Amino acid sequence: MKQTFLPTLYLLLVAVAPNANGLNSQLNFIPQFRQHIVSLTAESTGWSAELYWNSTFDKDLVAFTVQRSSDGIDYQNIIIYERHFVAAGDTDSFREQDDDPMPGENFYRICFTFSDGEIYFSERKILYFKEVPPFEIFPNPTGRQINLLMKKFRGKEVEVAIFDGIGERVYYQHIPAVDDGILRIELESMNPGLYAVSVTHNGKTFSRKLMIT
């Protein structure tokens, strides 16, 4: 008896024939991909790191944390926003600054927390910083004024002193918390010569030479 074989094309058409709703039931299982979009930028401004980003998520954001690492593996929280609500679908722009980066490589990333408890990490960015000197003097030599760059002590308590060539203290200032990291000192009352400028923090003193012309 002759056997009849259905053509292969006919079998395929049957397999993908639409159901009563006009849609193939198999196509209903196409996964829906979530949209977590973060554009992170990191830039060095000399002794600090500027971080800014744009983010858009498909769920409500409730908090975020800026994290830093020296090896790209173990991260620590350096800036925490425990309450930062952004509704799903909205675009959020944010800027933060790390004023105390570590010498060497600094790995940065943003950790986002959503209303359902999910955690999401941004891509990481790497910045390199040299060892921050205790303080710097400029201009040097000078005749009228000096600027002490003390970014290493920003927000910290220090004592600043200037000593003449025989060790006599001719200037002193106690600073409870260094603000912008720059201290301006007028020198018009001091005679030309070689001086020593010292900055003391937590009982440790750092000194540099100063030439007044």
Return the domain boundaries, the chain.
Answer: 36-129, 136-212
**Pairwise CA distance, residues 181 & 151, whole Å:** 4
The CATH number of 136-212 is 2.60.40.1930
| Class of the CATH domain delimited by 36-129 | mainly beta
pLDDT tens-place values along the chain, 213 residues long: 444 444 444 434 344 444 444 444 444 444 444 578 999 999 987 778 999 999 999 999 999 999 999 999 999 999 999 999 999 999 999 999 997 888 889 999 999 999 999 999 999 999 998 876 777 888 888 878 888 887 778 788 888 888 888 888 888 889 888 877 677 888 877 888 888 888 888 888 888 888 888
Sign, CA dihedral 185-187-190-193, equals positive
Helix ranges (H only) for the chain are: 8-15
Query: Residue 86 pairs with which residues in a beta bridge?
Result: 61
Q: What is the C-alpha to C-alpha distance for residues 99 and 88, in angstroms, rounded to an integer?
A: 31
List the structure tokens of 149: 């760059």
Do the domains at 36-129 and 136-212 have one common CATH topology? yes
